[in-house]
A = this chain, B = another copy of it.
Amino acid sequence: MKLWNGAGRRIYMQEVGTRDGLQAESAFVATEEKIALVDALSRAGVAKIEVTAFVSPRVIPALSDADAVLRGIERRPGVVYSALVPNVRGAERAIEARADELNLVMSASETHNLANLRMTRSQSFDALSAVAHIARDTGVAINVSLSCAFGCPMEGNVAESTVMEWCDAFIGTIGARGVTLCDTTGMAYPTQVAALASAFRTRWPDTELTLHFHNTRGMGLANVLAGIDAGAHRFDASLGGIGGCPYAPGATGNVCSEEIVHALELMGYDTGVNLGGLIDAAKRLPALIGHDIPSQIVKAGRRLDLHRPPADFGAIRERAHGRPLPAAPQV
């Protein structure tokens, strides 16, 4: 199957750790550390970075320095610097701080939208439209992230037709450049991903489609591969795998950037990312956020990061070679 052989196909990695990850942390990461992190990520070759969120500092104190961070980073050509904005006020701040793209969020599930954003989906959509109106006037691109596109932790399944209808509203009515289908609580599974991504690609071949998976139930990489097989080539991921899930304490959240890049590079895909640079950046996270990170690659190293044989290996080999017969009893 073609999927197993990447053959140099380009996959675009989009970093969400600095927003989706850090917003879930109780520690406040210093502004200059955040800037250094974003700069390390862009130097490593990540295609897009969700740098921060322009939200109320009362609601998310961890990102209260959104303006300073977005103004302080080094702008590397080709990298898209995105910011999450919940409303017109946030959009104005993000545009002033020179965001390349505004990321807007609403949920495919009415219950989740109410519980999370305290609005109906219809009210959220109106708010999104207002932001899009401003963005259009300033030439800043719009991406809409649709939460719970693969299921709602309270409602259960979300119909594919519901997801497609909202996408139609984002693309047709709002004029979004891109849509992100978000697996907010890790309910996506490969069969579903392949079907939904394929339906999206067929209907909107020219719209930027991003898939945003969480590894909550261990299916993150498998979902990425199902997405690739269905024609998707943009994936959100979080450095170190940071970012939890409020519905599953202790479970991992976002898929881990260096794990996805490590796997895709081995499979022959071109992620454009310098894996070493990415791992170095991830290794700085525990000191910044004050705890261990989920990243399996930081723990175990890359596939060919080899280990030395045991210290007495020479003696073991000599003894073995000196034995004419196997150690086990003969029959």
> Which residues of chain B are near A268, meaning CB under 8 Å?
191
Q: Could you say which of A12-20, A32-40, A43-51, A308-316 contacts chain B?
A: A308-316
Asked if B216 contacts A88 (CB within 8 A), the reply is no
Q: Is A217 at the interface (CB under 8 A from chain B)?
A: yes
Q: Is A234 at the interface (CB under 8 A from chain B)?
A: no
A71 → chain B closest CB, angstroms: 23
**Bound: A137/B276 CA distance, A:** 54
With known contacts A157-B304, A328-B131, A222–B1 Cβ distance under 8 A = no
Near B by CB (< 8 A), chain A positions 58-114 give 86-89, 111, 114
Asked if B111 contacts A309 (CB within 8 A), the reply is yes
> Which residues of chain B are near A186, meaning CB under 8 Å?
300
Asked if A263 contacts B317 (CB within 8 A), the reply is no
Of B6, B216, B299, B331, which is within 8 A of A130 by CB? B331
> Which residues of chain B are near A5, meaning CB under 8 Å?
191
Of B123, B133, B157, which is within 8 A of A323 by CB? B123
Asked if A316 contacts B221 (CB within 8 A), the reply is no
A228 → chain B closest CB, angstroms: 11
> Which residues of chain B are near A191, meaning CB under 8 Å?
4-6, 266-268
Q: Is A290 at the interface (CB under 8 A from chain B)?
A: no
> Which residues of chain B are near A192, meaning CB under 8 Å?
266
Contact with B along A175-200 (1 / 0, CB 8 A): 00000000000110111101100000
Chain B residue at minimum C-beta to C-beta distance from A127: B328
> Which residues of chain B are near A126, meaning CB under 8 Å?
325-326, 328
**Bound: A1/B222 CA distance, A:** 14
> Which residues of chain B are near A215, meaning CB under 8 Å?
218, 296
Q: Is A319 at the interface (CB under 8 A from chain B)?
A: yes
> Which residues of chain B are near A309, meaning CB under 8 Å?
111, 114-115, 154
> Which residues of chain B are near A29, meaning CB under 8 Å?
none
A51 → chain B closest CB, angstroms: 21
Near B by CB (< 8 A), chain A positions 220-247 give 220-222, 225-226, 229, 245, 247
Asked if A330 contacts B225 (CB within 8 A), the reply is no
Q: Hey, which bits of chain A sit against chain B, CB under 8 A?
A: 1, 3-6, 86-89, 111, 114-115, 118-120, 123-124, 126-127, 130-131, 133-134, 151, 153-157, 186-187, 189-192, 194-195, 215-222, 225-226, 229, 245, 247-252, 256, 259, 262-263, 266-268, 292, 296-297, 299-304, 306-310, 313, 316-317, 319-321, 323, 325-331
Instruction: Add 13 more A-B contacts to A4-B194, A156-B304 (CB < 8 A).
Output: A4-B226, A86-B328, A88-B330, A114-B316, A115-B310, A119-B326, A120-B320, A126-B328, A127-B327, A187-B304, A191-B267, A218-B220, A219-B221
Question: Can you identify 5 A-B contacts, CB atoms within 8 angstroms?
Answer: A87-B329, A88-B330, A114-B320, A156-B304, A217-B296
